[in-house]
Structure 1
Amino acid sequence: MDTVILSDSLAAQLDRGSTEPGYRQLLRLMQQAILTGQLAPGTKLPSSRTLATDLRIARNTVVHVYDQLTAEGYVLSTTGSGTYVADTRPDTAAVNARKLAPDPDLPAVTAPTASPAAPARCERGDLSARGQRLIHKAGVAPKQWGAFMPGVPDVAEFPARTWSRLQAKLWKDANPDLLTYAPGGGYRPLRRALSDYLRVARSVKCTPDQIIITTGIHQSIDLAVRLLTDVGDRAWVEEPCYWGARSVLESLGVRLVPVPVDDEGLNPREHDLRDPPHLALVTPSHQYPLGMVMSLARRRTLLEYARQHSVWIIEDDYDSEFRYGSRPLASLQGLDDAGQVIYVGSLGKMLFPGLRIGYMIAPEHLVDRFRTGVAELYREGQLMHQAVLAEFIMDGHLTSHVRRMRALYGERRQILIDAITAHFGTELPVMGDEAGLHLVLGLPAHANDREVTAAAYDAGVIVRPLTAYYHNEAHVRQGLLLGYACVPNERIGKAFSALAQVIERTVAASARLVGS
């Protein structure tokens, strides 16, 4: 392409009425011409004065474009000689290189033996086998709010004015220390406030130094698993269990061993006990998703088993503050005398999910290494939010907010149970309603809870299928998770009526298929 053709081409493509600056347009057009080969390597570009005259634009605009093309390697400029298109074509020899035969003068290198289950190398553009499994099993929902989304608090009831006032006070004279990376472990006043709160509310045994601030339960589990396990190590998980925790473990290469639960919680079978895992992930105070409480006898048995066989226990205490009819139950960690339990929790369900502040309590002998790990892997920040939260807790706002929300959620829970009874009587069992932000509505064995979930979504109601929480499809039980916390009292009855119609229609269709 000679300079006259270049000028004519650029002039035809420049859009002088566009909101895109002329400099950006000219740069983009010249980059495209070079990359597509319209401007071949070695082509001499017109002088800045000539091109500016041809295009009827300021010479400085062309100068800036040439300077940017030079900086990005598209062109080469030589004083006194001119500006030429650089040769940026891919190195064909490198692209088409084949594996060379081994050099007989070099020592042989033995490649690691691949696992029998190792996936074949993916095609260009595909996810890895691990990535494909993660996406295929993903449980994240397209909507995170509305009837009856499980696990979501009513953020409209959050005391935003109080939070805003505390935040404004801290920002008014912003301490530079709050605007940098967080120290390993997080903001110390917050750790101290959490330590005092958890000792009273959850019977946790810890010092402020044992608390490590994270972005939530997912990150806490991720850190613990990275530091305490290797790829291929085995982990007990409850069957069924929270899909998010399961995804974290599997993405890190841990082999899951589903252990069934009964009315007393985790119930390892004889063959499970004969082959101790490296760690166990449990929700003892409110099993997720079925809601039972691990009995004291089971807790003591698990702790003694972990002590004898060096099993790490991750205790996920995700929403136990919201217990109806009795005080919140003591933590498993509070019974641990051997330093085997890593306790993880989150402020999201107590306050608002977007806060993204959680915590873990590490055994004393692991604290320094966990602090180093969280700083090395995640480069934590959010110190200003942590400082606001510390003030919020120390001023008593957390305790009063949880108390108020426990009463409100208790009302909503009862309204939902009454609606279920009004529509189905005792035909469909209600499970796991003693605590938390959701309950489980059982469905007949011939039902398909995934079909019910999809039909409910089309009707404007969000539920989750119970079967999605099982690792082994042979163990599944049909049911729906119904969250009531984020649904205003006056909307629960109407929303459940819509869901009931979907259930009746879908279950009836399933029954006809079974009978045919």
Structure 2
Amino acid sequence: MFEIPLAELVLEKLNRDDKTPLQRQLYQIIHDLINNGKLPPDKKLPSSRFLSKEAGISRITVSLVYERLVTEGYLYSREGSGTYVSKVVTPLVPSGNAPVMKSWVYSERGARLLLSESSPPQPKGEFVPGIPDVSEFPFHIWRKILGKYYSKKYLHLSGYAESGGYVELRKAIAAYLAISRSLQCDPDQVIVTFGTPQSLDLCTRLLSDSGQQAYIEDPPYWATESVFEAGGLKVNCIPLDEEGMALEDGMIAANGKFIYVTPSHQYPTGVTMSMERRETILALAKKHQLWVIEDDYDCEFRHDDLHLPSLQSLDQGNHVIYFGTFSKSMFSGLRLSYMVVPPGLAPAMRRAISNLYLPGMLQLQAALAEFINEGHFYRHIKKMRAIYFERGALFRQRLKAVFGNKVTLSQGNSGLHLMARFNTLLSFEQFSLCARRHGMIVRQVKFHKPTEHGLCLVLGYGGVPTRDIAGAVDRLQQVFIEGERGLFFSGA
């Protein structure tokens, strides 16, 4: 059977007049050709150099698309041989005489979700943001407690979870927050969820309608915009200044619904919201009847001397929904998070989470309750707070020593990451291609309203052992050297 070369298929489908970036168009073209069976399993793809030349696309663009498809399992590489279509991908086209589906069958909302930024493809490595150091976690204790609840003695924990989560865990969370964050909450206000994105999705589904508006920080946490848009909301990105989100009365529309903020340690810039700005946010929420979602994602690892009260503890109008997670304090794959909701909202929220998700994993929740109540959680937090403080200080020191005035670092000494703006001509795509050769995966800071030039990255140091910090920064410098040398020789 005669086969049309991939380069010709790409040229046929590329629309250079479309505002959609060529990288995204190329990804979708190859993705669809695999799913509709036109690129069958074990089919060898042309080299990035050849396809770049034939299709008139930069080689970096082709290489990044190939790498993404390899990461997602659509392609695989053979060293010294090339890139092939994966055997494990099942084409979407039915066999026989069944009609062929259109190549793009998703809703407009679904399309935005699938093409939006996603989580890092690997859970560890140099500079992957948001990843804690699991080598220090007391797994021997955790395994013993977990094993206890996965025995026949606790068969009653094998069903679905009701009432917003295991009651002993909700009690433990409420007691912990009362001490650590001065939150005033009853266990009935605590809703256990499986990850912060689920918490956000639940709020979106229960508390808003399609077409209403949400106000988030610029730059935002990567998942927030995706979840809100997937729920049909219009997202407004509000710029930050040194005091936090600069939201003003005139910016809020009549159909506004949510204000989403990370006031303790803004992700990704590290800005701490001022007391005056916190009061402004609460006043705006009361005036316009908005829900404020306060995401306190890494509250356990604040090192700054200034400890401002949470929005939830300041709220007098029952407008604040507080988010917390164990993914940063314990390990990311745990996927246990929680919300603290206003008392009047709690019954509806418990029913909604049961109707939508049928949550379970009560054994896991029971084990976590015991882990907290026996003091293991606090001891682990105390230990890791000191480690991350030392690690962050060393990381900052080494970055300034190696890059000097070519790098500007975010303020603050909290959390597991920092934001770094590099004075370089490299684009993120060019930098990322070089970084992957060194096993580094970093996230770009994406401002919706850019105000400065340069390459802005989120660099995670939580998962980098202290002894490896210096060498990791040296390798980061090597990535820039290689990238800028290639840029120079390419004449770009």
Deviations 1:140-180 (A, max 9, x none): 22222110111000111110111122223333453232111
Deviations 1:388-445 (A, max 9, x none): 0000001111111001001111121122112212211233111144211101111227
1:358 and 2:337 are equivalent in the alignment: yes
Q: In 2, distance between residues paired with 1:475 and 1:238?
A: 17
Q: In 1, distance between residues paired with 2:242 and 2:488?
A: 29
Q: How does 1:473-484 map to 2 (within 5 A)?
A: 478-484=455-461
Q: How does 1:110-509 map to 2 (within 5 A)?
A: 123=102, 126-172=105-151, 174-269=153-248, 271-273=250-252, 277-326=256-305, 329-444=308-423, 446-467=425-446, 470-472=447-449, 478-507=455-484
Deviations 1:237-291 (A, max 9, x none): 1111011111111111100011001110000256414657211111111111101
2:135 aligned counterpart, secondary structure: helix
Q: In 1, distance between residues paired with 2:480 and 2:249?
A: 39
CA drift of 1:349 comes to 0.6
Aligned-residue sequence identity (percent) comes to 38
> 1:461, 1:495 within 8 Å by CA — same for their partners in 2?
no
TM-score of the superposed pair, with normalisation by structure 2: 0.75
Structure 2 CA distance for partners of 1:513 and 1:302, relative to 1, 3 Å: farther
TM-score of the superposed pair, with normalisation by structure 1: 0.72
> 1:461, 1:498 within 8 Å by CA — same for their partners in 2?
no
> 1:413, 1:433 within 8 Å by CA — same for their partners in 2?
no
Q: In 2, distance between residues paired with 1:489 and 1:506?
A: 26
1:213 aligned counterpart, secondary structure: strand
* Corresponding pairs, count: 396
Greater shift after overlay, 415-424 or 476-485? Answer: 476-485
Deviations 1:53-93 (A, max 9, x none): xxxxxxxxxxxxxxxxxxxxxxxxxxxxxxxxxxxxxxx9x
If you compute each CA radius of gyration, which structure gives the higher value, 1 or 2?
1
CA drift of 1:215 comes to 0.3
Deviations 1:418-474 (A, max 9, x none): 22122112331111442111011112274423422332122212211112xx34567
1:429 aligned counterpart, secondary structure: strand
1:315 aligned counterpart, secondary structure: strand
Q: In 2, distance between residues paired with 1:452 and 1:402?
A: 34
Q: How does 1:67-86 map to 2 (within 5 A)?
A: none
Structure 1 runs of 4+ off > 4 angstroms? 273-276, 472-477, 507-514
Q: In 1, distance between residues paired with 2:211 and 2:454?
A: 29
> 1:448, 1:507 within 8 Å by CA — same for their partners in 2?
no
Q: In 2, distance between residues paired with 1:181 and 1:271?
A: 45
Q: In 1, distance between residues paired with 2:440 and 2:353?
A: 39
Q: In 1, distance between residues paired with 2:440 and 2:338?
A: 32
> 2:216, 2:235 within 8 Å by CA — same for their partners in 1?
yes
In structure 2, stretches of 5+ residues that fail to align are 1-96
> 1:145, 1:486 within 8 Å by CA — same for their partners in 2?
yes
2:329 aligned counterpart, secondary structure: coil
Structure 2 CA distance for partners of 1:162 and 1:327, relative to 1, 3 Å: farther
Q: In 1, distance between residues paired with 2:156 and 2:273?
A: 43
> 2:428, 2:444 within 8 Å by CA — same for their partners in 1?
yes
CA drift of 1:356 comes to 1.1
CA drift of 1:480 comes to 1.2
CA drift of 1:131 comes to 2.1
Greater shift after overlay, 451-460 or 501-510? Answer: 501-510
Q: In 1, distance between residues paired with 2:371 and 2:148?
A: 12
In structure 1, stretches of 5+ residues that fail to align are 1-91, 97-121
